Each structure stands twice: as structure tokens, then as C-alpha cells.
Amino acid sequence: MEEQLSQRKIVHIDMDAFYASVEQRDNPELLGKPIAVGGGEARGVVAAASYEARKFGVRSATSGYLAKKRCPELIFVKPRFDRYSEISQIIRSIFLEYTDLVEPLSLDEAYLDVTKNKKGISSATMIAYEIRQRIFEETGLTASAGVSTNKFIAKIASDYNKPNGQKTVNPEEVLDFLEELPIGKFHGVGKVTTEKMYQLGIFTGKDLKEKTEEYLTKHFGKSGKHYYNIVRGVHNSEVKPNRKAKSIGTEHTFNENLVSEIFMEEKLKQIAAELERRLKKRKNAGKTVTLKIKYSDFTLQTRSKTLAYFINDKGLLFEVVKELLYQERIKNSVRLLGISLSNLNTDVPKGEKKVVAIQLKFDF
């Protein structure tokens, strides 16, 4: 076991309150103040919050109304994704000075395999420290890091000493570290699963480790085997530099609830056009179209259809989505609609044809 655990040196870098920190850096008047990136109107949603705002319980995905209620002094800032992407590229270039094995998870976090690195530095802990220093020097932003033998543990460790800190879990420390960890801190174990584990008497990694694989599979299905392995430090997923998106989508929250399918059609046309722009920019197409509907009572519904061919045209997207919209009656007023495309052409094995359907236009 220990021999297997010591094979790789993985670093997980996670920027601290990235979007909010960029806004505070670019506008010094916002420094030290509670800010939220996102919509502050009644139907708006927080995309990111500064640490000053988090003290009041303002988090990502909090509604603008609730965020303002929790923190009356909260300052809302419109997101500037082009700016975040620009700074993310600077950070990415720093990573690549150390290793080509960089797997970005988003604009603000990534895994790095530094087992063999370009600098010839034997200590992964020192590499993580150097990278954090370089990020601060070149962007003025802070990052946290986790260092360990696999991606799963490195991810947990990066959250341990946030903000602007790091933690290393050495091979000989892995099992004790996982046993002492509260079950809610296990990456990938969400609120619902945590509650279920509590009901089964599982509160820590040690409690989880005492359960057999059969027991965990019985209660958690396929995930049971995953839980059985990770608490023993077994997680063999490699750092994948060319990590491909599994789906591409776009969605919109409305200022007023939609009550008629006719109005929804109009909004879906706009969303389909926006999705087409994203798909063509990435040169992507897909076979599975999913319509996302969030009702005024916050219940969520998805409806999907898989085609025999790839599409990325707004006209074809809208036709499929329209079919899904009328698949069954809309049960309530709607506050959000979204369209996503999965089963992408990037998943097709090399050598296999990627036929993309297009919407033909005729002049009359």
C-alpha cells in the first residue's frame, strides 16, 4: 500500500476567492470590503464572494436577495469573465514552467503532477510554495495548495489552510489523515450523502473504513466501492493535461417568472443562439440535448434527447428543445431555463467519423 502511495507527487492549486479577489485587486476601493460578483437584483445569483462577505454566510449560488439580507453592506460587482480568463492564463503559464502535466478544473484551480518536473526539484512541497509565491508576485493574488500522493487527497489538503496557505500529506501520513477527517470534508461527499452517512453512524474516515465494501455498495450503489477505496488512500486517477469538457451549456435566470410556453420559446431561442456561439468557438458539437427547467419553487427538472448525429446549430438546437419543452406540461411558473449539449464530438475515438448536421436555409 505505502509503496503504491509514494509513487506520485500531486499538487492541487486553488486560487483564493478568485473572481472577488480580482475585482478587489483591480479596484483598491473594494479592498477589505464584503463584495459579491454576480447579480444583486431580486433574481440575481452570487457567482463568487470575498472572504469579508463569506463571514456573513454569503456563498457562491446564494440568491442576490438573500445575500443582501445576510450582509446589508454587501457590494455587488458585475462579472468580467474575459478579465478572469486573462489572469488565469498568466497563472497557467507559471504552472507550465514546472510541469506539462497540468489538469485545469476551472479558471481558478488545477492539478499538477510534479513527480518529474522541469526544475528538478525533489520536494513537491517546495514546488507548491514557489508556485504560490510566483502567482502573488505576478498577479497580486493569493493561492492555496494541497500536496499529496493522489488527486483526491491533494484536493482535500488545499482547503485545509485557506486562504493563502498550504498543507502537505506525506505518504506515511495518508491513512491517519483520512481516518481523522470528518466525513463532510471528503471531496465528492455532498450534503445529502453526508446526512445519509450520519444516519448509518459514519461521522469520520475511521467510521467509513470500518464498513465493508459490500455494506457500502448496498447503501450507496456504485459509489460504495469508491468510498471504500478512497478512505484507504487508493485513488489512481492520473493528471490529464487535455481534460475534455463532458458537456457545454448556457442558462438564464429571469427577472420575472415565465408562465407561458410561448414566452419560454422566445427565451430558449436566445439561449440556443448563445450556446451555438460557445460551441462554434470551441469547434464542438454534440448528440444529447438537455433542457433544464427551474421552477419558482426552486424544484429542478431536466429533459433530454439523444440524436443519431452531432449538432451545434441554433436552429436544430431550438427544434429539439422545443420538442422537449412540450414533452410534458409545465407544472409551475419558471424562473430559469438552460440548454446543454453532451455526448460531444471530442469523445469520439480517433479514426471514427464526426458527422455534424447543419440547418439548411432556403431562399424563397
Top pLDDT among 346 and 127 is at 127
State pTM to two decimals.
Answer: 0.70
| Beta carbons within 10 angstroms of residue 295's beta carbon | 16
pLDDT for res 292: 94
In this chain, the answer to whether the domains covering 181-230 and 247-357 adopt an identical fold is no
Per-residue confidence (pLDDT) for residue 349, from 0 to 100: 54
Helices and strands (H, E) in the chain, number of each type: 14, 13
Q: Give the Cβ contact number of residue 79 at 10 Å.
A: 15
Instruction: Kindly report the CATH number that applies to the domain delimited by 18-79.
Output: 3.40.1170.60
Look at residue 351 in the predicted model and tell me its pLDDT.
52
2 has a pLDDT exceeding 60: no
Would you state the cell numbers that stand for residue 45, as one nine-digit string? 445569483
Given a cut of 90, whether residue 236 has pLDDT beyond it is no
Cα 264 to chain centroid, rounded: 27
pLDDT: is 190 or 350 the higher one? 190
**Average pLDDT for the chain:** 89
Q: Does the structure show a pLDDT above 70 at 259?
A: yes
**pLDDT at position 50, please?**
96
Of the ranges 31-45, 96-110, 221-235, which one carries the lowest mean pLDDT score?
31-45
Write down the pLDDT at residue 254: 86
Topology (CATH) of 247-357: Dna Ligase; domain 1 (3.30.1490)
- Neighbour tally for 324: CB within 10 Å: 19
Q: How far apart are CA 285 and CA 356, in angstroms?
A: 7
Q: What is the pLDDT of residue 39?
A: 78
- Rounded Cα distance between 268 and 321, Å, is 8
Q: Write the pLDDT tens digit of every residue in 334-348.
A: 999 999 998 888 765
Q: Is the dihedral of CA 268, 45, 39, 259 positive or negative?
A: positive
Q: Which helix or strand (DSSP H or E) is residue 300 part of?
A: strand 300-311
What is the DSSP pairing of strand 109-113 with strand 75-77?
unpaired
pLDDT at site 356:
58
As a whole-number percent, the residues of the chain with pLDDT over 70 amount to: 92
What band does 354 get if pLDDT is binned at 50, 70 and 90? low
Query: Percentage of the chain surpassing pLDDT 90?
Result: 67
- Whether 360 shows a pLDDT value over 60: the answer reads no
Q: CA 158, CA 364: separation in Å to the nearest integer?
A: 61
Domains of the chain, by residue range, sit at: 18-79, 181-230, 247-357
Amino acid identity, residue 119?
Answer: K
Angle at 145 between CA 127 and CA 7, to 5 degrees: 60
* Catalytic residue annotation: 109
- pLDDT score for 3: 39
- Determine the pLDDT at residue 346: 75
What pLDDT was estimated at residue 159? Answer: 93
DSSP string covering 8-62: --EEEEEESSHHHHHHHHH-GGGTTS-EEEE--STT-BEEEE-HHHHTTT--TT-
The model's pLDDT over 195-224, given as tens digits with 9 standing for 90+, comes to 999 999 999 999 999 999 999 999 999 889
- The DSSP output letter for 33 is S
Q: What is the pLDDT of residues 270-322, one digit of tens each?
A: 999 999 998 988 888 999 999 999 988 878 899 999 998 999 999 999 999 99
Candidates 129, 115, 114, 113; CA nearest to 167 is: 129
Domain 181-230, what fold?
A: DNA polymerase; domain 1 (1.10.150)
Q: For residue 64, what pLDDT band results from cuts at 50, 70 and 90? A: confident
Q: Do residues 151 and 12 touch, judged by C-beta distance below 8 A?
A: yes
- Does residue 363 register a pLDDT over 50? no
